């Protein structure tokens, strides 16, 4: 029995199921619950929020964790160990390892930018983020990553930022927001704004991330990194349109 093949299949299965749970709840929070919550008065929020949100956020954060962990394991099996990393004439080097580190440490730079004045303007933050992402993709190409490798590592970078937001920013803030709401107090507006902003950032990142996740099936676009570079703002435009549509959907 091919143990590597078995692990590949198992981790991929868990990765997809956990990802559906995570991203599905992300879309519920942003496209459904945000509009619904605005219709509730104080007493209703005091009753509904402490019952609904801890349950939803449990599956949300653990879906994120399992998606990220199995994603890293798949990178190890399929790419780092599986021989799909590099184009012809390239192989492992110190710079290649450095670019892998950049993939995961980019979340720290994102966090700094999101906390800065730039983070208050979603379009500015998106423009800066897109430019930095292009630089990282060029770095992947510079050290010899093949098409599938630079696409999936771009997705891993976005996924790491998103998982960081879930566990280090959204969940800690939501615990305080839920506690205050349960006690009939107004949550800290700064926490509400921060948690909402990070959730929106994750929503925008999710569509390009999904493009990266299906990279085997986008191999028709290999040979031209412009497709990946354009897929990112195209995905963001789709999210923008969905947000606009979500604001028009009403209850009975």
Give the pLDDT score at 219: 81
Q: How confident is the model over 78-102, as a mean pLDDT? A: 95
The number of beta carbons lying within 10 Å of the beta carbon of residue 130 is 15
Give the pLDDT score at 65: 98
Q: How many residues does the chain have?
A: 252
Q: Which two tokens stand for residue 89?
A: 């004439």
pLDDT range class, residue 2, cuts 50, 70, 90: confident
pLDDT range class, residue 183, cuts 50, 70, 90: very high
Percentage, residues of the chain above pLDDT 70: 100
Residues 118 and 124: beta-carbon distance below 8 Å: yes
Give the pLDDT score at 135: 98
Q: How confident is the model over 55-72, as a mean pLDDT? A: 98
Mean pLDDT of all residues belonging to the chain: 96
| Cα 205 to Cα 88, 102, 135, 197, 235, distances in angstroms | 31, 17, 17, 12, 8
pLDDT in tens, 4-61: 999 999 999 999 999 999 999 999 999 999 999 999 999 999 999 999 999 999 999 9
DSSP class per residue in 214-225: TGGGGGGGTT-T
Give the pLDDT score at 220: 83
pLDDT in tens, 129-166: 999 999 999 999 999 999 999 999 999 999 999 999 99
Enumerate residues 6+ apart whose C-beta is below 8 A from 156: 71, 72, 75, 103, 104, 212
Give the pLDDT score at 157: 98
pLDDT in tens, 214-249: 887 888 888 788 999 999 999 999 999 999 999 999
Backbone angles phi, psi at 145, to 5 degrees: -60, 140
The residue to which tokens 């879309």 are assigned: 27
Percentage, residues of the chain above pLDDT 90: 93
Is the confidence at residue 1, as pLDDT, over 90? no
Give the pLDDT score at 47: 96
Residues 174 and 153: beta-carbon distance below 8 Å: no
Predicted TM-score (pTM) of the model is: 0.96
């Amino acid at each position: 029995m091919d143990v590597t093949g078995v692990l590949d299949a198992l981790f991929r299965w868990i990765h997809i199921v956990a990802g559906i749970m995570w991203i599905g709840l992300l879309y519920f929070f942003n496209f459904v619950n945000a509009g619904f919550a605005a219709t509730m008065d104080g007493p209703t929020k005091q009753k509904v929020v402490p019952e609904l949100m801890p349950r939803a956020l449990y599956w949300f954060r653990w879906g994120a964790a399992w998606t990220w962990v199995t994603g890293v394991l798949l990178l190890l099996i399929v790419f780092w160990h599986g021989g799909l990393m590099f184009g012809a004439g390239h192989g492992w080097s110190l710079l290649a390892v450095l670019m892998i580190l950049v993939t995961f440490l980019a979340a720290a730079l994102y966090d700094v930018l999101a906390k800065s004045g730039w983070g208050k303007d979603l379009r500015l933050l998106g423009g800066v983020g897109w430019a930095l992402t292009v630089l990282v993709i060029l770095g992947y190409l510079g050290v010899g990553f093949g098409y599938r490798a630079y696409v999936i590592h771009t997705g891993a970078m976005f996924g790491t930022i998103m998982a960081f937001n879930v566990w280090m920013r959204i969940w800690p803030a939501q615990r305080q927001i839920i506690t205050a709401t349960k006690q009939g107090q107004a949550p800290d507006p700064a926490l509400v704004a921060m948690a909402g902003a990070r959730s929106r950032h994750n929503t925008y990142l999710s569509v390009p991330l999904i493009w990266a996740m299906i990279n085997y099936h986008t191999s028709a676009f290999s040979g031209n990194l412009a497709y990946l570079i354009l897929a990112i703002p195209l995905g963001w435009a789709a999210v923008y349109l969905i947000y606009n549509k979500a604001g028009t959907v009403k209850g009975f």
